[in-house]
Amino acid sequence: MFPTIDIAGYPLSLYFTLIMFGYVLAAFIMWKEAKRVGINPDDALDLSLWVMVWGVIGARVLHVLVDGFFWDYVHLCTDPMLVEGRDLLGRPLSDLQDLASRSSKELQSVARMCTESAQCKAAGWGFDSVAELEAAEAAGQLSGFFAEPKGYDVGPICNGDTGLCHPEQDCLRWAKFWAGGLTYYGGLLGAIVFSVFFATRHRMGMLWAPDMASLPRRGPLAKVPGLGYVAHFLSYLRRFPEGILKTADIASPTVALAHAMGRLGCFCAGCCFGAITDGPAGVHFPSGSQAYQTHRKEHVDALKGQFQELGEWMSLPVHPTQLYEAGVNFVLFAVLFFVIRKRKRFHGHVFAWFLTLYGAARFTLEFWRDDMRGEFFSLSTSQLIALPLMLAGVWLLISGLKRSTGIVDDGANPPLGKPRSEGVEQPRQVRWEDDGEFVSPVEGWPASLEKMEEKYDLKRVGASEAQSVDVEEADDGGGESGDAGSQEGS
């Protein structure tokens, strides 16, 4: 367990350092892939930035709702004294067995109770006395961006009635993701939902398709505020799914790579640990780690026996499930990027394998996890989410392979038909250059996206007089020049 790394004398969290390194590497690969498959790389880079934001939001929201801390966050805002208190050694009340039946003298011999809030603050910062805390405060050691408590996990407020330390009131604690508490599947779902919206709005991978705003809304919900837009969006997505599936294909391997780096960060931080094991893969986490705190609560006698044998307080040997999952994700990245990507048979093929393989692996690995997280019907929250996503991946594979006619050329676009004014046929390969130009090997093809839209009368937002490409003709890939437009795009 290596929670921090010192760079030029400044401690940096290895957890977030590895996460950010994985994210930057994934964004770079996605940017390069976007150019290869004919997607605007600027859109791909923008999507990568927004995915990080919405991924964190989704991961935090799911953690708050299902990981078992919901009422702690509520009590932190309403009455922090309702949050379980801890003694000066960071031991929660539930760890101190039979406290309610012990006399005051016996209680003091078992736990180090507080008498004033300064003692709690000193214990939280890692000082043995209030005098050391006051000296550090006078020297300015407790202020600044890199100042971080390194003591026991105790709050700074002492409850004089119980002698236990409690956290301060903080109504925004639920939103402070940097203090810990992110659920991967929440981040994945948040990223997927936003990516669908972003990729569709920007027509990523489907520049040939008409703009969504150019098509009239139909159906019983067309004029209902809010619901009308959602229904129109889903209808558009159903008629033009290629773009989002093509974008998902280039994103899936990068998600696996970034997640692998994140799991290495989990190992360094000591979170997401596994069940106790006597096998050769077992690892010990130091005192103060989440694994040690859990074992001190549930396996006190075993910890005492281990201390007598080894002479050091640390967790019992556990499965390094963080490393297991990191290895799975590295292998998954290699399979998706170097094998399936080169044998892709339909748009969404890589994404379907990602959902299927990761869902199966995560469902299995959860049986070796032993950290606190949500549980329903004897299955963890992650397992309950993995099942439908895995089934969705299998459905995409079966339905896609039924329609497949061979290896897909990622750089090819669906046929649009012939231009109105010229007889230049659409090329089968388009790409983006570093300067943002939209180019093609066919002579006479428009050099930029704007010129392409002008030549084909593709309507953009704000171009009220332009006509859009007829949807059916675009799907059929043909039609005479005089039939290429549609009067419906008003």
Average pLDDT over residues 407-428: 45
Give the model's confidence band at 378: pLDDT under 50 very low, under 70 low, under 90 confident, else very high. confident
Give the model confidence (pLDDT) of 256-310 as tens digits. 999 999 999 999 888 889 999 999 999 999 877 888 878 877 887 888 899 888 8
Collapse the DSSP code of 169 into the 3-class scheme (helix H, G, I; strand E, B; otherwise coil) and give the result. coil
Give the model confidence (pLDDT) of 227-253 as tens digits. 888 888 888 888 888 888 999 999 999
DSSP for residue 156: S
Strands (E), 387-457: 431-432, 438-439
Reference 276, options 284, 268, 288; nearest CA is: 284
**CA separation for the pair 126, 367 (Å, rounded):** 35
Reference 115, options 62, 60, 48, 160; nearest CA is: 160
Evaluate if residue 474 carries a pLDDT over 60.
no
Task: Quote the pTM value.
Answer: 0.73
Collapse the DSSP code of 128 into the 3-class scheme (helix H, G, I; strand E, B; otherwise coil) and give the result. coil
Give the model confidence (pLDDT) of 209-220 as tens digits. 777 877 788 888
DSSP for residue 203: T
CB neighbours of residue 144 within 10 Å: 9
Q: From residue 91, how far is each of 227, 270, 371, 440 by CA, in Å? A: 51, 18, 17, 67
Q: Quick one: pLDDT at residue 145?
A: 53
Domain ranges across the chain: 4-67+182-403, 80-168
Rg (CA), the chain: 28
Give the model's confidence band at 408: pLDDT under 50 very low, under 70 low, under 90 confident, else very high. confident
